[in-house]
Structure 1
Amino acid sequence: MANKRDSSQREILEIKEKLYEMHNDLKRFMEKSNRQHLEHVLSGSRTNFTNAIIGHVLDDIEGGLENNMVKKCEMRETCKSNFTGFLQNNASLIKQDDVHEDVILKNQSDLTDMRSNAPSKQCEKCFSNVQTLFGKQVDLMRSLQIYSTDKEKKQEISVLPDEQIVNDILEPLSNRQRLQILKAIAIETKTFSALSELTGLRGGNLLFHLQKLLDSGMILQRHERGDYMITDKGFKVLRSIGDMYSVLNS
């Protein structure tokens, strides 16, 4: 009777272990799926937002040229077609994550060349209008933070808060195990035990590094003794590091 009871208890324990494994597998799947879904939604939202902006810019091109170009000119339609193509090509840059200064300078140079070869004085009105529309597009790229000149970038660098960057970003990630932790929980939440196994750190040593990341705002703990998960700040910092690494090794 005792053997039968022991056997039943072992079976119950095995079932519990299997259920626990299934629960963890399902949790990991849901967390990964939710992150992928979130990234998909954010990507879709950005695309829709960009398309809406470009639609507005294209309308601005059409209206600006139609209303402000010289009316009585035999070259009006030809010039309007050329101007439209030039401005639409420049507007398409809004779809990019980063617009290099050389591209804008090249487009400005092309416009300047066209202007210098204008056949008559009345062309100046049309070119001034195109220059205004071009400038508005460049300003829009600046406001979307996808374009800035090298001079502007240097000015941005000069005002970076040294102490805050060191304390909030560089120092927390200046340790290999802390970077390991951040990378791991960017994929799925992790328990203290799982992070201990990952990093090889135990007890107070692991707590020390986790506290560094908690204090920096890059990770959080769901509740006392709960899993650790990455924050929006932590995810952005990690992606920025990935982008920087790709650029340096390209």
Structure 2
Amino acid sequence: MKKIIGSQNDREIRRLAGLLDPVAEHENDYRELSNRDFQAKTQSFQERVRSTLNGSGESPDEAAFKRLEDELLKIMPEAFALAREAARRTLGMRPFDVQLIGGLVLHMGRIAEMKTGEGKTLVASLPLYLNGLTGFGAHLVTVNDYLARRDAMWMGPIYKLLGIDVGVINHEISYLIEWEDPARAEKAIEKNQSVWPDEYRDMELPPERNLDVLAAFKTKLVECTRKEAYKAHVTYGTNNEFGFD
């Protein structure tokens, strides 16, 4: 019987996959957006979140938190589709469907077991973006300062195109993620350039990436105060820096 209906884990994955069905439809629509439109879409999501909280920027009470959870789940297919398209354009990486499931599992506060090389860093960017829309801060906890810096810079182009601030908290020093060459990045945005070449836009994975555009979307660390890093929509750090030890 287990071979026919699958394990409990298999059934749960199928259920979650069903919640993600609308992502493909939104993704097709977002393919037509200009690079400049991504930030505007993010702002529209943020407005929906604020309206759920009656325009308040304060931490929600229990009833408001439930409304916020429900609204984020409604926004999720659109937000995941937008982040997926942003990753495709800035990194030449399009999260696979199974990675979307991993992102949804994390958003739900559950554990997603992933092996080395299965894309944990990219997966985490999806729920980080979604929860960063609240303005209350979405934190990525990793094992050391180097990984916090590396992963924030690696995923930084996605967040920057989406209009999301990213902070990094290391021991005795903090950073914000910024474009390495702002003028070059702005030019790539204005010209609607993409790391994923247009001639391969309908492929699951392109045989090549536009390395010039990849370089244009490169990010860097800019030293800032700890408070500024904490105030970012998304912040990367270690457990002891976030006070979990």
TM tier, smaller: under 0.3
Please, what TM-score do these two structures have when normalized by structure 2?
A: 0.22
Q: Compare the two structures and name the one with the higher strand fraction.
A: 2
Q: Compare the two structures and name the one with the higher helix fraction.
A: 1
Please, what TM-score do these two structures have when normalized by structure 1?
A: 0.21
Q: Which has the larger radius of gyration?
A: 1
